Structure 1
Amino acid sequence: MTSARGRAAKAVTLAQVAAVAGVSPATASFVLSGRDGRASAGSDATKRKVREAAEHLGYVPNRYARAMRTGRSDAVVLALGTIGDPWGVSLTRAVRGRASPRGLSTVVLADESWYEFLTGYASDCAFVTGADLDPEGQAKIARLARSGIGVVAFGSDLEPDGFDVVTSSSLQAARDAYDLLASRHENVAYLATSAPDVAEGVRTVTRSQALVRHAQDRGRADTLTVQIAEQGHGRSIESCLAWLASPERPEAVVCATGYLAIAMQVAAVRLGISIPDDLELVSIGDVPGDAQFFEPVSYYGVDRVFDRIAGIVVDRAITPLDGDGVRHVLDWRYFAGATTRDD
């Protein structure tokens, strides 16, 4: 009898699986590609015979061969740059939830080599973040799109050019968050993980830069405190504890991210500081519900942002682009929670 190791030395073909199962290669392909919901895939008994034959023979699908044959890879790539960002984790979960029922695998690229990776990897759609931080980002994305890869790029400085763009600028939200607290507090603090660079000529304006410049334009730069917290959940909490326990304890804080707002909540509870009576918090960016420990944070964000981006990405994977591309604008608005006063 031929061992599994012996069979592995010579790749098992789809035709061999079909022959053992007693079906056509087309039917075997439908069943093993994850698209067996179609009528042409056969009955439940047929599907079972195909899967049993594939398991017995040790058949492993060749994605590259199938991509060359069908023009599809049945894969969505999320080029997120990191796996430690909670935003990316939430987006991955949303994309996977939409992609799996459509027979699509979700692949996460956790470093900045998105261009090099995608030039050699077959995918039905790639969602790319960070391209607008690269001076050549627009041209690189356009080259990938011309090579036949479906691309959805995330960035405020990109324009559709054979690919889709999702833009979601937080700059006005940062200004509005400051104005909300400045309307009832003479001194407002801003909590971030790095000091904003407010020098003129900066190519890409961040939310931190927008907020600080806005306070300067209003003539209130001397009443704005910029506080830097260490990165990492535990270290951020420790930073917030030290700040709230100091004589410079703030009364109103705009947090650069939702997770910094959570760190402030934790620190305030440990120190017995009442939110929002003694400390008001507003976040620029939402906090997923399963990450919140206490009452909901008041924040500026995009309604159903992860579900909406996931829908755009998976729809493009299913339906190839026909035209220049679409610019999807996701507007930010205020969501009142329990960390700000009703007034």
Structure 2
Amino acid sequence: MLDASRLQPYYRAIHLEAAWDRLGTLPCTPIVAVLDTAFNLDHPDVQGNFLSGRNLTPDGLGPNDLSPSPPPQGYAYTDQDNPDHGQGVAGLVAAVADNNRGIPGVGLNRVKVLPLKVFYWVEGSYSSTSDVLASALRYAADQGAAVANLSLGSPTPMDGVVQQALGYALSKGTLPVAASGNDGRDGLRYPAAYPGVLAVGSAKLDGTRSDFSNYSTQPTDLVLAAAGNRNPLEILWSLALGRNYPYYQTLGEYDYRWVGTSFAAPQASALAALYVAKHYARYGRGPSPDQIRLCLTQTAANGGNYDPQTGYGLLRADRAMTDTTYCFP
């Protein structure tokens, strides 16, 4: 058993506990689709908060198998190839809260994860393709996901098929939320750089930009969540697969070394889903993707002002639950 208080400094940075106090009764349970590496629905800290999901890759394991894809003959997983990544990201969205085990997800048992496996072995590399990503985005939208979390990215623009799928998701009411990138440079990775996508970078616990987090001197829909730092080291922790495979040894049930914008994005995704549920409770309908982006950017710590290093600043979860100008006009 682990002490959930170890996440508190990171959640405190976005005023999450104050937001939880303001949730009240929520009549709907939004879905966050997590497009990532691999998932274990039998993890003891999941207990029904993950939906059955789908394997969108052509790895031969079948559409219902979310296990890490077996490497082709002559290849093996390395430290850089981390199938536990998907479970870690999903855990920050919807790990079970109040069960005296592990961690609480940001969603506080009010949000479900739709796990979508999109990483597999492509020409000897553990990655994904434009067609697989596009299929997953469309699948998430067709399943009614309020948010599609994309803790992944490319330094160059993606194929048109992905851009079209992003447009399709937006048209169906699904907000894409994407990690800004871990290069520590000016310029967001794709798909975070695309219009309509909420980009999420990482902040240190003091609220300044993490040393690895990509930023944008050109105004865009960029917010931050606390997700570690390299020097000096700040780390957070989340779920890991907790199940070994003949070709891959998991990091265990939990991993304590997570750091990166990959782990900032799910905090924003889950907060967006909580806002969707709160909006539905008040108005009998969910907000549009544009409305979600407006709420989260304009209530963030920079007071609606854009900063080249931090965008609109750290998320303010408490304001997103109460603001009457941008969130609940």
TM-score, with structure 2 as normaliser: 0.32
Larger radius of gyration: 1
Higher relative contact order (CA 8 A, sep 6+): 2
Greater share of helix: 1
After TM superposition, the score normalised by the length of structure 1 is 0.31
